[in-house]
């Protein structure tokens, strides 16, 4: 019950999950994440050019979740305690949400530079789900 992302839905988005593939709008040049739907910037319904970003970006907003994580992350929170999650703007300009890793959660701040790394996110129905987290770069 509740919110649920099925395995086929997850796998359909693997290019976005693992490589953060962006959709460059041929009309206005904005980069969209994920690379689907109409352009979030200019509303054009055009075929995006797929662009694989370098994977670095800047923290735009961050929160430290001290309790009550989504159930998919119960086990993670029990093991790791409070975690930081936020919104990252990639160098290409697209924004996406992501958890921060390899750092003290309380040390992540808006404006910090981060890079994407593929990590195990959670396990459901016996299948580990992988995707991107962000870690600080000097």
Partner 1 sequence: MNDVYVVGAGQTDYGSFPRESYRSLFKEAVDTAVDSVDAEFDRESVDEAYVGTLGVGGRQLGLPGPAVTEFAGLNGTATTRVENACAASGVALRQAVLAVRAGVADVALAGGFEVMNDVSSERTGEWLGVSGETEWERMAGTTFSGVYAQMADAHMAEHGTTREHLSRVAVKNHANGAKNPHAQLGFETTLADAMNAPAVADPLNLFDCCPTSDGASAVLVASRDAAEELTDNPIRIAGAGQSSGRVGLFQRPTLTEIPATQRAAEQAYDEADIGPEDVEFAEVHDCFSIAELLAYEDLGFCERGEGGPYVASGATEPDGERPVNLSGGLKAKGHPIGATGGGQVVEVFKQLRGEAGDRQVSGLSRGLTHNVGGSGGAVAVHVFEEGWA
Map the footprint of partner 1 across residues 50-79, applying CB under 8 A.
60-74, 76
**Of 119, 111, 137, nearest in space to 56 by CA:** 137
In this chain, which of 104, 107, 110, 117 binds partner 1, going by CB under 8 A? 110
User: Could you identify the residue written with the tokens 């959709």?
Assistant: 23
97-125: burial string, b at 16+ Cβ within 10 Å, e else: ebbbbeeebeebeeebebebeeeebbeee
CB of 16 to partner 1, least distance (A): 8
For residues 21 and 51, is the Cβ–Cβ distance under 8 A?
A: yes
Residues 6+ apart with CB under 8 A from 90: 20, 22, 31, 33, 53, 54, 55, 56, 57, 96
Our CB check for partner 1 shows the closer of 51 and 96 to be 96
What mask, x for binding partner 1 by CB under 8 A, covers residues 80 to 99? ---x-xxx-------xxxxx
Our CB check for partner 1 shows the closer of 21 and 99 to be 99
Map the footprint of partner 1 across residues 16-55, applying CB under 8 A.
33-34, 40-41
CB of 77 to partner 1, least distance (A): 8
- 90's enclosing H/E stretch is strand 83-90
Footprint on this chain of partner 1 (rule: CB under 8 A): 1-5, 9, 13, 33-34, 40-41, 60-74, 76, 83, 85-87, 95-99, 106, 110-111, 121-122, 129, 131
């Amino acid at each position: 019950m509740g919110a649920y992302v099925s395995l086929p839905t997850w796998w359909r988005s693997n290019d976005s999950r693992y490589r953060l593939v962006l959709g460059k709008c041929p009309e206005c040049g904005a980069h969209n994440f994920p690379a689907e739907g109409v352009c979030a910037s200019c509303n054009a319904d055009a075929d995006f050019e797929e662009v694989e970003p370098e994977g670095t970006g800047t923290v735009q907003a961050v929160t430290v979740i001290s309790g009550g994580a989504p159930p998919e992350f119960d086990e993670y929170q029990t093991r790791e305690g409070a975690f930081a999650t936020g919104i990252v703007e990639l160098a290409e300009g697209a924004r996406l949400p992501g958890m921060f890793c390899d750092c003290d959660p309380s040390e992540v701040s808006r404006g910090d530079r981060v890079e994407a790394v593929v990590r195990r996110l959670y396990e459901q129905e016996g299948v580990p789900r992988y995707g991107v987290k962000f870690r600080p770069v000097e």
